[in-house]
Amino acid sequence: MHIKRLILLAACFMLAGTPFAIAGGDSDSLNLRYPIVLAHGWAGSDEYILGIDYFWGIKAELEDEGADVLVADMSAFDTSDVRGAQLKTQILRYMAATGAAKVNIIGHSQGGVTSRYMISNLGMKSRVASLTMVSSPNRGTAVADVVTGKLPNVLKWSLAALANTFWGGLVAGDSNSRFLAATYELTHYNMENVFNPNTPDMAGVRYLSYAGKMYAVSANVLLTPTWALIKYFDGDNDGVVPMSSAKWGTYKGDLKGLFGVDHFMEVNHLFGNTPGFDAKGFYVDMARSLEKYGL
């Protein structure tokens, strides 16, 4: 009997300490004051072709834990003034339908930048309790610099045509994609000299941020070249956004994972395959943090 108890105790200890613990089914349900709005990034959509979610399985996980969740749908490729207006319309409709006084926004990548613009420039500061940004390029990214300023024109325009028609139009279902305009907005120069000076943080809104850190090679191998490029110019990054650019407001920490955390893993892709990183649990933990703030 003594041996059986030791085995049971050891098993419980191992389960409690594993980095792959799943948040779903936790006996402690969320009790947030305001609903959560998930705002997708550059090249995103609430749902891609064939019903592929941008935030893979995350809405269901948050709702399973007791949160009310809206997944916003904005243009895949456009600037934050256009995307911000789209986001505003959807949030106001959602608030009217649910009676919510405010919302908590979680923005991934450009979704965070777009949300900042909406709050500061589109009269939404009284409607937003918090903005949590996950690897948002608040100070730009070298990828945008290279695409808009370093590529030969023929290659740049060919890339834009492909992005607008195939990815934006077909995959994301966006009828008016503006790839180059969206990408230029995220350059270092524009973010630091135009966007940020004209998008100050608003009093009464809590700004939080996280940054992912990729370790050269990840399950999403297509990010290896962009990781190397950003590493050269900007240092540690998640394959798309430098960690130094992602830090804004109250910085909540690096997302490192067992094997690193890349830009796609942050939204639970590829299709939930995020080795060494519990993406769903991360979003539940973010929500619990908001709950502790009384939001």
| Residue 77 burial by Cβ neighbours in a 10 Å radius (0-12, 13-18, 19+) | buried
| Best CATH choice for the domain 32-138+199-292 from the list 3.40.50.720, 3.40.50.1000, 3.90.79.10, 3.40.50.1820 | 3.40.50.1820
Sign of the Cα torsion 166, 169, 173, 178 reads: positive
Structure tokens at 148: 């808009």
Q: Please provide residue 232's backbone torsions phi and psi, each rounded to the nearest 5 degrees.
A: -65, -45
- The answer to whether 149 and 117 are in contact (CB under 8 A) is no
- 102-159, pLDDT tens digit by residue? 999 999 999 999 999 999 999 999 999 999 999 999 999 999 999 999 999 999 999 9
Domains of the chain, residue spans: 32-138+199-292
Predicted TM-score (pTM) of the model is: 0.89
| Residue 171 burial by Cβ neighbours in a 10 Å radius (0-12, 13-18, 19+) | middle
- 145-202, pLDDT tens digit by residue? 999 999 999 999 999 899 989 888 888 888 889 999 999 999 999 999 999 999 999 9
* Spatial separation of the C-alpha atoms in residues 188 and 275, rounded to whole Å: 31
SS3 of 87, please? helix
Structure tokens at 61: 């996980």
